[in-house]
Chains A and B, each alone.
Chain A
Amino acid sequence: DVKVTQSSRYLVKRTGEKVFLECVQDMDHENMFWYRQDPGLGLRLIYFSYDVKMKEKGDIPEGYSVSREKKERFSLILESASTNQTSMYLCASREGPSTHFGNGTRLTVT
């Protein structure tokens, strides 16, 4: 079974802090994704990566950056956290038709 592991289940950060969300997958997948999930809005793509050191903006990249130094690891960075970035963050990896998700990090920015 594919395993996508997100390092934290819950995080509470203050406005203006730099926040790192880490994600690791164990299936050597090329493609990795960061989504945020908000009630009534579904999942929205923030960034994705199709190879090491490669990244592409998704639909809502503003206020975020990403890093992919190794194939198995994809990090999401909030440069200066704001309250409107309070959300559930989901990491995913994909090869072929199946996209596999981690269990999410619920981030609260106060």
Chain B
Amino acid sequence: QKEVEQDPGPLSVPEGAIVSLNCTYSNSAFQYFMWYRQYSRKGPELLMYTYSSGNKEDGRFTAQVDKSSKYISLFIRDSQPSDSATYLCAMRHDDYKLSFGAGTTVTVRA
């Protein structure tokens, strides 16, 4: 079993829809939770960062962490074609190693 499981997608939604992305994990020691966005032929860029459980909002993006269920989510409201990308969840428990999900490819149709 992988340490981090991510819904594989792909996901295709109309412009303006809410995009919901999820990851589950098995290592209860994870304390730091991140979402990265990766455009085609580019490196991942950090979107959201959360420490421990709770919600965090940044503009159209909301990240949720439920440590009791070992489940994290990213919601994108009012999705735009420019949100079309691969989204990667990532998490870590120490100072160094990030564990990544396999990524979900999202297409927002104009």
Contact = CB atoms under 8 A, between A and B. Distances in A.
A21 to B, nearest CB: 14
Interface residues of B, number: 23
B95 to A, nearest CB: 8
Contacts of B41: 103-104
Contacts, number: 54
Interface stretch (B14-22, B67-75, B77-85, B98-106): B98-106
Contacts of A99: 34, 46, 90, 98
A43 interface: yes
B54 interface: no
A58 B97 contact: yes
A101 interface: yes
Interface string A1-42: 000100000000000000000000000000101000000111
B65 interface: no
Nearest to A48: B96
A9 to B, nearest CB: 8
B100 A42 contact: yes
B32 A43 contact: no
Given A42-B103, A97-B49, A98-B49, A103 B42 contact: yes
B101 to A, nearest CB: 6
B96 A40 contact: no
B51 to A, nearest CB: 8
Contacts of B103: 42
Contacts of B42: 103-104
A40 B102 contact: yes
Given A31-B96, A98-B49, A42 B101 contact: yes
A45 interface: yes
A41 B6 CA distance: 10
Contact of A97 (B6, B32, B43, B44): B32
B6 A104 contact: no
Contacts of B96: 31, 33, 48, 50, 56
Contacts of B101: 42
B49 A48 contact: no
